[in-house]
Amino acid sequence: MLARVAQLPLFLLLLGISSASMVVPAVIARVTRDYHDARAFFYAAVIGLLVTVLVGIAMSGRRHNTSALRQLVALAAGFVFLPLFFAVPFHEAVRTTSFENAYFEMVSALTTTGATLFDPARLSVPEHFWRAQVGWMGGLLMWVAASGILAPLALGGFEVTATGEPGQAVLPGLARSVVNDPAQRLWRSVRLLLPVYTGLTVALAIMLLVAGDPPLIAVSHAMSAMATSGISPIGNVAGAPSGMAGEIVLFCFLFFALSRLTFSTDTRNGRGLWYDPEFRLGVIIVVAVPVLLFLRHWWAAFDIGDERDLTAGLRALWGALFTGLSFLSTTGFVSADWATAQGWSGLSTPGIILMGLALLGGGVATTAGGVKLLRVFALYLNGKRELERLIHPHSVGRKGLAGGRIRREGAFIAWVSFMLFAITIAALTMLLGLFGVGLEPAIVLTIATLSNTGPLIATAGSEPVMVAAMGWDLKVILSLAMVLGRLELLAVIVMLTPDVWRN
C-alpha cells in the first residue's frame, strides 16, 4: 500500500499531508472552544483529503516520481501553490484580513521566513499554532528535500563537494550510498529524518515547558527554532516567561542549523563533528561577532563611565551571542538582553551586522537559509591557496580528492552562487524601488526575504518596515522572493533546462 502511495505525484502527496495536518489546529480550536476556527480548519482538511483521494485514484494507473528533476519542479510548485490552500482556513479563521495577507503569511511560514503582517494579540491560539505548524512542516520539507532531491541533483550547496555538475540526475559518488529510484530515495529520507526532527522538537518543547513557558509558547518556539522560522505567538522570545533559561535552551538547539552532521551521519567523514568545516566556521563566527561587539561595548563604556558594571557587560555579551547565532541560523530570535547591550554601549541598531549574518546563513541541508557556510568555506580555501601561490608560485596544494575539488571546482561554483545571489539582491532592490519603496526599506526587505529571515524586517532598519500597509502587488513580489530564496536561483535555472520538459 505504501509503495503504491509513494508512486503518486509529489505535489499530490504534499497536498494530502497538508490537508491531514489541518486536523491538529481544528482539535486545538475545539479544546479551546473556538468553534469558528475549528470548523474552518476541519472543513478545509476534509475537502483537501477528499480532493487528494479522488485525484490519487484517477492517477494511480501511472507511475510518477521517476525523475529527480520533476521532483524539484514539484517542490517549487509546493512552495508557490500550497500556501494558497493553507491560506483558505487561515483567512476564514481570522475573518478580518484579505486573502493576499493570508497568502503572504503562509508563504512566509512555509519557506521558514517568519515575516508576519499580524500583531500577536490579533490572532487566536489555533491561528498562532497553525502559523508555527506550517513553518515546522516547511523545515521538515527542506530536511527531506535536501537529501532526497537536492543532493542527487548537486544543488542547495551540495554542488561544492559533489563530483557531478549542478542538475545532474544521478551523482557518481552517491550511486552506492543511496537508492537510485527517486521515489524510494525520497521515502528513505522521510523514514530517517522524520523521527529525528520530531524527537528534537518534542525534547525542546518539554525543556521550554520546564523552564516556565506556557504550552502554546513552548511548542511554538520549539517548532520555530527547529525550522529556523522565527515564528512566535508573542512576537519574539524576549517576552517569554522562561527568560534567560529558555534562551539558553534555544541557543543549544540552534546549533542544528549550522551543520547537517549535528543530526545526520549519512555524510560523516569519521573524524567527528568538530572537523566539519561548516560547524567550525559557524562556531567561529558565532564567537567572533559577539566578542567584537563586546569589545566595542566595553570601549563605549569607558566613554560613558560605566566600565565597572560587569553584570551589564556579561548580559550584553550574552545578548550578542544569542542574537548572533539566531540570525546566522536565519531564525531571527532576538535576546531580551540585546536591548541591554545596545543601551549599555550607546550603540545604535546594528542592522548591517544582523543582515550580514543572515546573508551568510547556516549549513547545507539544514533548515537555514542564506548563502550557506560551505560556500563561504570553499571561497576561503580558494583565497588562501591563491595567497600561497603568490608567495610560493611552484607550491603544491594540499592532497586529497575532496580538498582539491573544493579549492577548484567547488570554489568556482560557490563563486557563481554568490554572484547569482548578489544579482538577485540588486534586481529585487531595484524592482522594489520601482514600486516606490525607499532604498533602506528595499534593502532590508530584499535581504530578509532572500535569506528567509523575516524578523530582519522589524529589527534591521532604523524603523520597522510596515509590510502590512503595502499593496497586494508588493506582497506578491515579496512572496515570490521568499520562494526564490528558499529554492535558490541556481535551482530555478536547473528547472528551466530542456531536460526537464523533454521527458
Spatial distance between the Cα atoms of 354 and 177, rounded to a whole number of angstroms: 38
% residues pLDDT > 70 (the chain): 86
- How high is the pLDDT of residue 447? 96
Would you say residue 163 has pLDDT above 80?
no
- Longest C-alpha distance within the chain, in Å? 77
Lowest-confidence pick of 80-89, 181-190, 297-306, 356-365 = 297-306
Residue 115: inside a domain: yes
Would you say residue 177 has pLDDT above 50?
no
The string of pLDDT tens digits covering residues 239-260 is 899 999 999 999 999 999 999 8
> How many of the other CB atoms lie within 10 Å of CB of 272?
10
Would you say residue 112 has pLDDT above 80?
yes
Tally of domains within the chain: 1
How far out from the chain centre does Cα 61 lie?
36
Would you say residue 369 has pLDDT above 70?
yes
Confidence of residue 386 (pLDDT cuts 50, 70, 90): confident
> How many of the other CB atoms lie within 10 Å of CB of 381?
20
- How high is the pLDDT of residue 419? 92
Lowest-confidence pick of 35-49, 200-214, 455-469 = 455-469
- How high is the pLDDT of residue 285? 94
Q: Confirm if 302 and 312 have CB atoms less than 8 A apart.
A: no
- Per the confidence metrics, is the pTM higher than 0.85? yes
Residue 133: inside a domain: yes
Spatial distance between the Cα atoms of 503 and 501, rounded to a whole number of angstroms: 6
Would you say residue 298 has pLDDT above 80?
no
Residue 339: inside a domain: no
Q: Give the DSSP letter of residue 113.
A: -
Mean pLDDT of the chain: 86
Residue 10: inside a domain: yes
Q: Which residue has the higher pLDDT, 63 or 380?
A: 380
Spatial distance between the Cα atoms of 219 and 395, rounded to a whole number of angstroms: 55
Confidence of residue 272 (pLDDT cuts 50, 70, 90): confident
Lowest-confidence pick of 41-45, 168-172, 363-367 = 168-172
Would you say residue 106 has pLDDT above 90?
yes
Q: Which residue has the higher pLDDT, 300 or 36?
A: 36
Spatial distance between the Cα atoms of 111 and 479, rounded to a whole number of angstroms: 9
Q: Print the domain residue range for 23.
A: 2-186
Average pLDDT (44-52) is: 96
- How high is the pLDDT of residue 174? 43
Spatial distance between the Cα atoms of 220 and 127, rounded to a whole number of angstroms: 11
Integer Rg of the chain from CA = 23
Confidence of residue 296 (pLDDT cuts 50, 70, 90): low
Q: Which residue has the higher pLDDT, 145 or 173?
A: 145
Spatial distance between the Cα atoms of 74 and 233, rounded to a whole number of angstroms: 31
The dihedral sign for the CA sequence 441, 446, 451, 455: positive
Spatial distance between the Cα atoms of 379 and 47, rounded to a whole number of angstroms: 49
Residue 100: inside a domain: yes
Residue 180: inside a domain: yes
- How high is the pLDDT of residue 5? 73
- Read off φ and ψ for residue 95, nearest 5 degrees: 70, -20
The dihedral sign for the CA sequence 503, 179, 369, 9: positive
% residues pLDDT > 90 (the chain): 58
The string of pLDDT tens digits covering residues 417-453 is 999 999 999 999 999 999 999 999 999 999 999 999 9
**Closest C-alpha to 122, from 242, 233, 203:** 233
The string of pLDDT tens digits covering residues 406-418 is 767 788 888 999 9
Spatial distance between the Cα atoms of 201 and 194, rounded to a whole number of angstroms: 11
Confidence of residue 181 (pLDDT cuts 50, 70, 90): confident
Average pLDDT (30-55) is: 95
Residue 231: inside a domain: no
The string of pLDDT tens digits covering residues 392-407 is 887 766 655 455 567 6
Confidence of residue 262 (pLDDT cuts 50, 70, 90): confident
Q: Which residues have C-beta within 8 Å of that of residue 238, sequence separation ≥ 6? A: 334, 335, 336, 338, 339
Copy the grid coordinates of residue 411. Answer: 570554489
Would you say residue 271 has pLDDT above 80?
no
Lowest-confidence pick of 44-48, 310-314, 462-466, 477-481 = 310-314
Most confident of 34-48, 312-326, 463-477: 34-48
Q: Which residue has the higher pLDDT, 297 or 64?
A: 64
Most confident of 281-290, 348-357, 493-502: 281-290
Residue 454: inside a domain: no
